[in-house]
A = this chain, B = another copy of it.
Amino acid sequence: MNFQDSRLIRALRREPTDRTPVWFMRQAGRYLPGYQRIRAGMEFLELCKNPELASEVTVEPLEVLDVDAVIIFSDILVPLEAMGLPVEFGDRGPCMSQPLTDRAGIDRLSIPDPVEETGFVMDVIRATHQRVQGKVPVLGFAGAPWTLACYALEGSPSRTFAAAQRMVYESPADLHRLMEKLADTVTSYLLAQVEAGANAIQLFDSWGGMLGHQAFEEFSLRYCRRIMEGLDGCGVPRILFIRGAASHLKQISRMVDEVGIEAVSLDEMTRPQQALDIFGDRCALQGNMPPQALFAPEESIRQRVRDLLDVFGDHPGHVFNLGHGILPPTPVDSLRAVVDEIRAPR
């Protein structure tokens, strides 16, 4: 099948589809039995670097949930490791063992050749295509510069990312230098994913929303833009996801217009009607269902799916997804109910 004709890619281009496409952020993850089996034998990053098993994990949601796309199993910290920041394993997943502390550390970071340094990611994409055999498109992804900077400066996941937040004001020039290197790294990393066969890419800025409104524009949005501009003309749709940005939709919308970004993914804090009012049909809209809503009884889940289909109903580029990643204890049956409800005749 030509991926241009797939439900997801058509929706991302705002072309008519037979029904709303659905995939889930973090759909290749801990809620799945096959994933758990494989992870029991190896560490997270080890799995990321094993194309055979990473692609097996990548396609499991296709078999279990019958989603309309797969997203490669990987981690946003992969490019940081290639830049020269060692990644290790804490209790709560991958983290940096030697966080950046000064300008010298920033200056030492390389801008890696994505194929030479992170070729295993491209291998995962190719291995995944072999497994899905044209059935659905394969998504690539990367973390946005601000989110990567949070980890690079803080080390481990944090409630506040105080080091990165402080640097915004204490040494903004150094932070900009870091952000430039991250943006260049992520741009070539995503271009390599497209080259390897990614049919669409998503840029994740998980922590953009914690910045003050001026810092948001200066450090989150600006570098997302730089990457999206760098991908212009790459031939696949670009999805922008900035978590916590519900009060910045107008600024994002302006960027969508100026850069021609194909799709915006909305977190669950965003009012869908407000997003529709602001973005109109000038880009595809994805997401918005609260990940926690999957713990509700099935009938509530189905009702919520219907409500979201109703509100986005006439939008030519609606992609069903959550407002954030699937939570590890989520019941598989809840996700099945979502997919089933989307496909129910209406």
A102: min CB distance to chain B, Å: 15
Q: In the complex the two chains form, is B268's CB within 8 Å of A213's CB?
A: yes
Query: Quick one: which of A169, A290, A323 has the most chain B CB within 10 A?
Result: A169
A181: min CB distance to chain B, Å: 22
Residues of B within 8 A of A293 (CB): 169, 212
Q: Is A89 an interface residue (CB 8 A)?
A: no
Using an 8 Å CB-CB cutoff, how does the interface string of A124-160 with B read, 1 for contact, 0 for none? 0000000000000000000000000000000001110
Q: CA of A327 to CA of B290 in the docked complex: distance in angstroms?
A: 31
Q: Is A270 an interface residue (CB 8 A)?
A: yes
Residues of B within 8 A of A53 (CB): none
Q: Is A165 an interface residue (CB 8 A)?
A: yes
Number of copies: 2
Q: In the complex the two chains form, is B213's CB within 8 Å of A270's CB?
A: yes
Residues of B within 8 A of A31 (CB): none
Residues of B within 8 A of A165 (CB): 292
Q: In the complex the two chains form, is A268's CB within 8 Å of B212's CB?
A: yes
Q: In the complex the two chains form, is A170's CB within 8 Å of B212's CB?
A: no
Q: CA of A168 to CA of B327 in the docked complex: distance in angstroms?
A: 15
Q: CA of A300 to CA of B215 in the docked complex: distance in angstroms?
A: 14
Q: CA of A271 to CA of B296 in the docked complex: distance in angstroms?
A: 35
A296: min CB distance to chain B, Å: 4
Q: In the complex the two chains form, is A270's CB within 8 Å of B247's CB?
A: yes
Q: Is A64 an interface residue (CB 8 A)?
A: no
Interface class of chain A by DSSP: helix
Q: Per a CB cutoff under 8 Å, which of B166, B168, B169, B247 touches A246?
A: B247
Q: CA of A48 to CA of B165 in the docked complex: distance in angstroms?
A: 30
Q: Given A247-B247, A247-B271, A269-B247, is A212 in contact with B327 using a C-beta cutoff of 8 Å?
A: no
Q: Is A332 an interface residue (CB 8 A)?
A: no
Q: In the complex the two chains form, is A296's CB within 8 Å of B213's CB?
A: no
Q: In the complex the two chains form, is B169's CB within 8 Å of A269's CB?
A: no
Interface residues in A207-256 by Cβ distance below 8 A to B read: 209-213, 215-216, 244, 246-247, 249
Q: Per a CB cutoff under 8 Å, which of B158, B162, B169, B209 touches A159?
A: B158
Q: Given A169-B296, A247-B247, A247-B269, is A290 in contact with B215 using a C-beta cutoff of 8 Å?
A: yes
Interface residues in A291-333 by Cβ distance below 8 A to B read: 292-296, 300, 323, 327
Q: Per a CB cutoff under 8 Å, which of B157, B211, B296 touches A269?
A: B211
Q: In the complex the two chains form, is A162's CB within 8 Å of B296's CB?
A: no
A265: min CB distance to chain B, Å: 15
Q: In the complex the two chains form, is A212's CB within 8 Å of B323's CB?
A: yes
Query: Quick one: which of A274, A293, A294 has the most chain B CB within 10 A?
Result: A293
Q: In the complex the two chains form, is B292's CB within 8 Å of A216's CB?
A: no
Q: CA of A249 to CA of B247 in the docked complex: distance in angstroms?
A: 9
Ordered by A's residue number, 19 sampled pairs between the chains whose C-beta atoms are within 8 Å are A158-B159, A159-B159, A169-B292, A169-B294, A170-B295, A170-B296, A209-B269, A212-B268, A212-B269, A212-B293, A213-B270, A213-B271, A215-B290, A244-B269, A247-B247, A247-B249, A247-B270, A247-B271, A247-B274
The 7 closest A-B pairs by CB, nearest first: A246-B247, A212-B268, A212-B290, A247-B247, A169-B296, A170-B295, A159-B159
Could you list which residues of chain A lie within 8 angstroms of chain B, going by C-beta atoms?
157-159, 162, 165-166, 168-170, 209-213, 215-216, 244, 246-247, 249, 268-271, 274, 290, 292-296, 300, 323, 327
